[in-house]
Amino acid sequence: SAVPDFVSPDQIRARFAAGLSALYRAEVPLYAALRDIVAAVEAEMAGGSDGGAVERHGAIRVGTPDEMRLVARLFAVMGLHPVGYYDLAPVGVPVHSTAFRPITAEALAINPLRVFTSLLRLDLVEDPALRAEAAAILARRTIVAPATLALVERAETAGGLTPGEAEAFIAGALDVFRWHGTARVDAATYQRLLGAHRLVADVVAFGGPHINHLTPHSRDIDRVQAEMAARGLPAKATIEGPPRRRVPILLRQTSFSAVAEAFVPAGADPATAPLRHTARFGEVEQRGAALTPAGRARYDACLAALREEGAAPEAAFAAFPDDFAALHAAGLAYARYVPTGRAGPAASLAEALARGLITAEPITYEDFLPVSAAGIFRSNLAEADQANATAVSSQAELEAAIGRPILDPFALYQAIAEASAAAALTALGCGLA
């Protein structure tokens, strides 16, 4: 019997990502301006590719565990898997999150889009009446249309989608993340939800989990930041993450402040002026080397020095080697091991590295940073967020909602490092030590 001609999940994601970018540029014209800046900076750089500004990530927020499960199933069809657990409650944002992302180098190369996905924690809303009201409102909405859900089920049971099915699925998936210009709640309810937390209004008041930002990658985020200011975009005051370094590490991010978008509250007299909701923005990221748990601990310590002691960024990070060989030798960064082409005897990886038979190259960090994420949330949501350090974080709860385990980012980098070491040693004829 003929094997069905399925479209690969990576191809589905690539087409979904292109559609999402076009949709968001149309919905938030300032994002289109940011994307143009990123593309211009990229084109001006030495060795500039004409790849333009490809989105590396976006973000959505869902309201219930059932919605989390639904988007997880939708993302699985496009080759996105939950990686990393981010608890934002201790930093004042009532959500916990994961990133649905491609997990292999091949998949990332075909299309790098990942979606930072946050589940609202209504348990952190203090007023019990408002909490119950919000839960009831969420219980009455359907974020994935029945025809789209049928295609998700088809992909799950058949093992893939035909070209025609894939096209319909992509259109249906894009509909899930559109902006709804009409709220599902009246103006008074909107104001009450806003009073609890801007994020509560953002998640509960509308018809679905509208995409709240998209994020192209830049090889020079400082230039993009300067260019945003020069062109009058309302840029965030500071870049999140580590300072500029010779060897980039982890992730640096900046954004422009959320725009105020008109919407009509439920039951509103169309003659009255619309309300405005301020939640959606544009972001830029620059990625560097993935750090080991030891490297990450050192990063967190540098960040704490920066925040608590008010040190200048470069001073706070002075204790962090800014040389990849040193980072690797100190066990702070993961490495991909690549044969140099030189032959010679070596009994171990360390010896092959010392003799220059194998080189260690950075592995790009593909995940997120909770402190940075909180900074991004905060600059686009509200001024005064109440920290909730006592809230119990629960990866198990988020996994139960998703319906599968969340993958550990460190384990993924470790596996890449180990596989490359084995391949490099085999290529040298060393075998595994």
Instruction: Quote the least distance from Cβ 240 to Ni ion, whole Å.
Output: 9
Which conformational region is residue 394 in: left (phi greater than 0), alpha (psi within -120 to 50 degrees), or beta? beta
Between 70 and 109, how does the x/- string for binding to ligand OOG read (CB under 6 A)? ----------------------------------------
Please, which residues have CB within 8 angstroms of residue 308's CB and are 6 or more apart in sequence? none
Closest-approach residue to ligand OOG (CB): 373
SS3 58: strand
Instruction: Please give the size of the binding site for ligand OOG, defined by CB under 6 A.
Output: 12
Containing H/E element for 262? strand 251-263
Give the DSSP letter of residue 404.
S
Among 21, 98, 111, 118, binds ligand OOG (CB under 6 A): 118
Site string for ligand OOG, 246-275 (x = CB under 6 A): -------x----------------------
Residue 212 partner contact from ligand OOG, Ni ion, none using kind-dependent CB cut-offs of 5 to 8 Å? ligand OOG
Cα 226 versus chain centre, distance: 23
DSSP at 159: S
The residues in 366-405 that bind ligand OOG, with binding defined as CB under 6 A, are: 368, 372-373, 376-377
Instruction: Give the relative orientation of helices 163-176 and 9-27 as an angle to the nearest 10 degrees.
Output: 40
Provide DSSP, 174-232: HHHTS--SB-SS-HHHHHHHHHH-HHHHHHHSSSS----EEEEB-S-HHHHHHHHHHTT
Binder of ligand OOG out of 98, 212, 218, 225 (CB under 6 A): 212
Q: State the minimum distance, in angstroms, from the CB of residue 148 to ligand OOG.
A: 22
Interacting residue ranges for Ni ion, rule: CB under 5 A = 215, 283
Question: Given CA atoms 241, 243, 248, 254 in this order, what sign does their dihedral have?
Answer: positive
Binding mask 342-371 for ligand OOG (x = CB under 6 A): --------------------------x---
Q: How far is the CB of 251 from ligand OOG (least distance, A)?
A: 8
- Whichever of 31 and 116 has its CB closer to ligand OOG, that residue is 116
Beta carbons of 275 and 187 less than 8 angstroms apart = yes
* Minimum CB–partner distance for residue 377 and ligand OOG (Å): 5
Residues that bind ligand OOG (CB under 6 A): 59, 61, 116, 118, 212, 253, 283, 368, 372-373, 376-377
